[in-house]
Amino acid sequence: MAYDDEIENKITGRSLAECRDKLFKLYGKDYRIVNKSVDFKSGGFLFLQKKPVTVVTYVVNHQKSYNSDGYSSMNGVYPEHKPTESEILEKNRLDILKSLQNQTPINSQITQITQSIEDLKNEMKKEMAGVASAAQQKHDSIKKIEDMLAQNEFSFSYITMIEEKIRNEFSLEQLDNFDLVERRVVDWIGESVEIAKEITFRPPHVFILVGPTGVGKTTTLVKLAVQFVKSYAQNRNGEKPKICFITTDTMRVGAMEQLERWGKHMGSPVYKAEKAEDLKTLYDDNKENMDAIFIDTSGFSPNDATHIAQMKLLIDIPGMNPDIYLVTTASTKARDLKNIMQNYELFGYKSVIVTKCDESAQLGNVISVLYEKHKAISFITHGQVASRDITKANVVDFLKRLDSFKVDRIHIEDKFGE
């Protein structure tokens, strides 16, 4: 049954199935069969027998109504040219595609999203390239400071730290004032140097020097003893302290003889301890009648972990509570110095003595590693004369040694002087 606003159309075929097939090709599922019947037609003028034909009455479910040719018949308007069945199929195919495009623009949306992502990626690449280009284009003042620090043998990590401080503190306009930047960098270098605090005298005060072979521990120990005697006499109206020397150095030929010569010159006894038991006995025998005990140790490669550990056990005497100093030379490369400090860490040394400063023009390597390892420096030595060639470390001396830097002596002495 068709409703009043629906237009009925008819289609014929050899069977109902053929009619349904034709309708599906024309309208897909967008049709409804209203009625069907069977008719007969002649098979040809030579044969008068009639063949059955199925006639199907149907209506189209589109908002527009179609006639049996697939063309709109609204308002009674029909085309003058009656289209073929293939033309009708093509027209309906195009109509269906157009309908799908209007109703589900998914492909278009995906294309737009994909394009947006590509545009964003291109923008990010441009920004990253800009950042990399800006990073490469260092200000001339920064590059000059880096060259000067490298000339003074500061480590790469220390130079990077200074560069970051410059970038954080100075504007581009201020960077054009190189004297201002240079003055501030000198201050930063001075602030990065930690000087060991004055030790408290506690008799018997025990001093132990450790460090690699060849750094001058024995000579430095004598210089430290001379320094102690001078300081003691100044604080006690010229009274001379009682001191002794102990060597545990069984590796170096002549170590004992060298100490004995100095002991004789200073009027101080010299002892030798080959085992921990020997050192404990010597300490117990002298702790009541000595103001200070100076202990020398064997030098080993910083990579010789076995002997370093054995030496640690040898000097680990209960109740002795020594001040332990790590001794190293000024000419040691930053990388090697870092390795030495790391491997001698088990001794718990509080500060470092830097020797042979007269043999090295730059101390950037020492400043860098002390800063990175958070270690203080107590003394520097600069010659072979025991009575004078040892100095308490101070920031001003380090800054005066900076090569190529314009150092304001009055400013640094006011800022860092004692």
* Cβ neighbours of residue 10 closer than 8 Å, sequence gap 6 or more: 55, 56, 57, 58, 68
3-class SS at 377?
A: strand
Say whether pLDDT at 129 is over 70: no
Query: 49-73: per-residue pLDDT in tens?
Result: 567 888 889 888 764 444 444 444 4
Q: 31-45, 97-111, 161-175: lowest mean pLDDT where? A: 97-111
Pick the residue with more confidence: 370 or 253?
Answer: 370
Say whether pLDDT at 104 is over 70: no
Say whether pLDDT at 375 is over 90: yes
Query: 252-264: per-residue pLDDT in tens?
Result: 777 788 899 999 9
Cα angle 413, 414, 416; round to 5: 60
Query: 201-228: per-residue pLDDT in tens?
Result: 889 999 999 999 999 999 999 999 999 9
Tokens representing 347 are 């001794």
Reported confidence tier of residue 48, pLDDT bands at 50, 70, 90: very low
* Nearest alpha carbon to residue 298 among 317, 286, 312: 312
What amino acid occupies position 80? E
Q: For residues 126-134, give the mean pLDDT.
A: 55
Backbone angles phi and psi of 168, in degrees to 5: -75, -30
Reported confidence tier of residue 133, pLDDT bands at 50, 70, 90: very low
Distances in whole angstroms, Cα of residue 314 to Cα of each of 216, 308, 311? 21, 10, 5
Q: Cβ atoms within 10 A of the Cβ of 203, count?
A: 14
pLDDT recorded at residue 68: 43
